[in-house]
Amino acid sequence: MGRALVQAIDAAEDLTLGAAFEHTSSPALGQDAGELAAVGNLGVLVSSDPAAVVDSFDVVIDFTTPAATLALAQVCAQAGKAMVIGTTGFAEEQLGMLHSHQNKIAMFTSPNMSVGVNLLFQLVARAAHALGDAVDVEVIEAHHRDKIDAPSGTAVRIGEVLAEALDRDLTTDAVYGRQGITGARDRNTIGFSTIRGGDIVGEHTVLFAGEGERLEITHRAQSRSNFAQGALRAVNFINGKPPGGYSMDDLLA
């Protein structure tokens, strides 16, 4: 994802790469970010210390892990730098810590930066409102073998959209796996199925299964470039905004 972002920034006419970060044990440390992304030398060396180069950027794009995002948010809050965050897998306590910085900086968060996926959220809400309790709902997601959280942040967000539209509680109605004699399906269930394998970029399907028919709404990411382009749109949207929390709903409004 980092390489895709560097490539997209390099191709953008209105953005410039100011800094690039990796974890402390990354073999990329000290190397030119442009060389790593195969776009040529950009004069930006990969660092593990955002605080040391905080004056080199106005907005940071973060696709990492919850712990790394929280550490970066602390640096950005102290320096007044805006953030675009695509990291997923936060625990509730971690989300609270992250959002506490929104009184100091503009923070754009989305479990999926794809514009298409965010349109999927809207379509799913509309279908759920129309179909109601007459159908069973299932969320099926697939990602590459190296993805560390499951279900995906996007799948969880789809579940939240369904729960809101159907007046259900995701904390009690979600079912994340089935095995053995499970009995008949409860109508309130919001089911999740997770697939991990190969180099699958990302696929999400919402299944509305009724009597005699079913409706499926699917988004398939064919490359990471769509996530990068969505993140750049978020950068342009949030740059110069006052402190607060922003999302794709704000961008697409």
- The set of catalytic residues is 143, 147
CB 27 within 8 A of CB 3: no
φ, ψ dihedrals at 151, nearest 5°: -65, 170
| Alpha carbons 149 and 120: distance in angstroms, whole number | 21
What are the tokens at 42? 């950009």
* Residues contacting residue 124 through CB under 8 Å, at least 6 positions apart: 158, 161, 162, 165, 206, 217
Would the CA dihedral through 116, 117, 122, 123 be positive or negative? positive
Could you give the CA distance from residue 93 to residue 90 in angstroms, rounded to a whole number? Answer: 8
H helix or E strand, kind and range, residue 227: helix 225-238
- Copy the structure tokens of residue 252: 């697409």
Contact 197, 142 (CB under 8 A): yes
Distance between CA atoms of 149 and 129, rounded to whole angstroms?
29
**Residue 64, SS3?**
coil
